[in-house]
A = this chain, B = another copy of it.
């Protein structure tokens, strides 16, 4: 078994170092083999935009005008109801993940404990350890296969994807039911498989998927339509709900409702309004409430709602590393995009990481001699004692460490300390850091008394866990980066605390290294993900202590400033490496010399208000352009509206032709419902059959086009165009001349391709990747 892993490692290395020939590569987000850009100086054309602007065509306006004030009130109430549902469901899913991890770990523990008891006397501990190893690798294997083969978008934490979605980029399949299922199973497997990962990021993604599903009142995947919430079947409304779902996810993961709101605000929502804020807040609240309610029932204490979330770090009674992490992960991700693109390779890498994690942990623990006496306050119910004389099992034992971690996790064992390779009545403090779930390790680093950890232990632990976590993030498994970052930060924070205390032994205020661990954890996480406001609130809500709010804010701010000087945040790096046309908060500072004339796409394919069906079909079928929005003009080229590809598809499908309308007087008029039913998976043009006769018919677009698209004059500066586009969440912005003739069209990619580099304004290349 050991050799198989070595073999795998060699193979991956060989892949990495030798196979430099070009070949079709696989895109980790979409999962189809394609040519992938090898650097971040490209902008992909394959991503489409969400349309945050309402299409106020005649049908829509008629519906709105028919609606009574009571109707609007009902809509408002159903928005609140949906947010409540999102909160409840997200809380339940978080609950499910939590319980499943515990159950699986408990089962494993049972099996392995019996096994150990059987073999301890006869000296065959290696068998037990191999059993553990097999169990753990099996988990990672299941998770890896699910992700790599069934739904590659479910890999990672999902936060970059949700961030893109909220920015207005349509990431395919990111909010589908299948993604949710793979994500949930995947994260259970990877946490149960002992990888250096957290389950918080996936919970946030799950919240987003739940929101997108619930708000539509149907499941396209399951082909079930509950005929509810049909009004919300458009990008505008759906995106609002997804931001509520993401907030609910944060709330469930960290017990931080306010932090959830701020997360959505800081990371995602570019288009914010008060009502939306309240709804998101409501969803967050319900989510924490539900989670705590069901967890309290599960723990047999119904009604005890004071458990604030899954990783309440407990109570306190009494940026440079982040940038390094991001840089390393950046190179690793580029490497992965280039060479580790086949699903089977991805699964193998995941298994390799699992094995190496175990090997490193074991080596560290084995050679550590940091044995601390067990205090009376740590009433160990169970401590695994492997005596030094059994060194014969070394070659296999490392595989077992992955198992031991979950042994400790299980409910039966409430202790943090593990006495591996130490005498009775002592515990191995290196094992305390390595042999726990990351959540528990973080907590012990925060709370153990001064002197519980040797500085050497902490230093080595920080170093190794740093590289392990960095390697793990980006594997083809569902995995979050929050908890590993906190763990690294807590370790070096505590290390700093110990060193400082040894220099200034007279000041008793700073004698508690646990405080340093908390601050270090905040700094490390801040340095990696670069959030400030929301992270402060999340940390405060998770620790349940407001006192440390100010120092946490301070270190987060410093971590962000220092980190930004060297490297972007981890999520931004991953977004950039996927060449996503992400719109930042403002146009690049030095872009005032660019005008709409320079940035727009031109010439523009326009349609006449009454257009020939053949022309429309030909334009839509042209795969080389693949436009999604078409200005509608009256001769001579005067703008009178804008129509989307999706609308034209529906019109063609229902054959809304002028001639047919004349011949069949009783024909059912096309309604808004028809567009909503087709949303969001509009059929491709190839699936719609248009006969040669029909090609000669005419289509009247007047009723369906948006008659008042936003326009800008051609001299408008780029920042001004950007501001309009971003503030209103547009998908298409028409550039018109001084007599209102269409001369260009600005879309997301035209704005996203300018960015401020080291040498001033740079332009990204556009590529069909």
A contact residues vs B (CB 8 Å cutoff): 54, 56, 61, 64-65, 67-69, 72, 257-258, 261-262, 265-266, 271-275, 277-278, 281-282, 285, 288-289, 305-306, 308, 532-533, 536-537, 540-541, 544-547, 549-550, 553-554, 557, 585-586, 589-590, 592-593, 638-640, 707-708, 710-713, 715-717, 720, 723-724, 727-728, 736, 738-740, 756, 760
Contacts and interface: CB of A to CB of B under 8 A. Distances in A.
Contacts of A738: 638-640, 740
Given A723-B728, A738-B638, A550 B288 contact: yes
Nearest to A543: B546
Given A64-B593, A288-B550, 14 more contacts: A54-B720, A64-B592, A257-B549, A258-B533, A258-B536, A272-B272, A273-B586, A281-B532, A285-B553, A707-B713, A708-B716, A708-B717, A711-B711, A727-B728
Contact of A285 (B274, B289, B554, B708): B554
A712 B537 CA distance: 41
Contacts of A550: 257, 285, 288-289, 305
9 contacts: A61-B592, A65-B592, A69-B590, A72-B590, A308-B549, A707-B715, A708-B715, A723-B728, A739-B739
A69 B589 contact: yes
Q: Which of A585, A707, A740 has the most CB of B within 10 A?
A: A740
Contacts of A273: 585-586
B724 A278 contact: no
A153 B752 CA distance: 46
**Could you say how many copies of this chain the assembly holds?**
2
Nearest to A270: B273
A545 B281 CA distance: 19
A219 B586 CA distance: 31
B544 A546 contact: yes
Given A549-B541, A717-B56, A285 B557 contact: yes
Contacts of A532: 278, 281
Given A61-B717, A549-B541, A550-B285, A266 B258 contact: no
Nearest to A540: B546
A584 to B, nearest CB: 9
A609 to B, nearest CB: 12
A427 B257 CA distance: 42
Given A258-B258, A557-B282, A308 B546 contact: yes
A727 B270 CA distance: 11
A305 B640 CA distance: 63
A592 B708 CA distance: 13
Nearest to A545: B546
Nearest to A595: B708
A637 to B, nearest CB: 12
Contacts of A707: 713, 715
